[in-house]
Copies of this chain bind each other. A is one copy, B any other.
Amino acid sequence: MPTKLPQLKQDFTEGLSQISRFWGFPKGMGAIFAVLYLSPTPLPLDEIVSQTGLTKGAVSTEVRTLARMGLVHRSSKLGDRKDYYEAESDFFKSIRSILKERQNSEFDRAIRSVRETLEKLEAGTVSGDEAEVEFVYQRVKALQEFFNAIDSLSSAVIKLESLGLGNVQKILSILK
């Protein structure tokens, strides 16, 4: 027997919810994105509310963080007070803006704290068993270098015009 389109959409939505949760985002966020992603036209807030079963408040805040991440876009029609939302369908573009978002976040603050640790060690202002201080220094330095590599990578990705399948292929060929 044939699957009805609304049913299919709902299954898909549930799948994306789980993926969302897996990556540490609220599952409602995945659901909202899924609904928008499968809609041929931008949707107003109440439509998202009715299709996800979440409340106005929840949708309002989560759609905002989705927008900040560049995963959805907000627009409005002239002579219509409603806001309309649509999903970004270029995922590589989304990745870039998520990375960009992360750069000013809590994450960077933590990374900066590692850098500070390293600076203290380099300034020679740390007292303790000499061999151990040296060991700790080497370790912290290695971690810092790792972060730097990740950072260069993501900066590069952010600056890219397009990270299409072509580029991914090229990368793969290097890594072989």
Q: Give the B-binding residues of A (Cβ under 8 A).
A: 2-6, 8-9, 11-12, 14-16, 18-19, 22-24, 37-38, 40, 89, 91-92, 105-107, 109-111, 113-114, 116-117, 120-121, 125-129, 131-133, 135-136, 139-140, 142-143, 145-146, 149, 152-153, 156-157, 160, 163, 165, 167-168, 170-172, 174-176
Contact = CB atoms under 8 A, between A and B. Distances in A.
Contact of A129 (B5, B12, B131, B139): B5
Contacts of A129: 5
Contact of A145 (B105, B113, B165): B165
Contacts of A146: 91-92
A129 B100 CA distance: 39
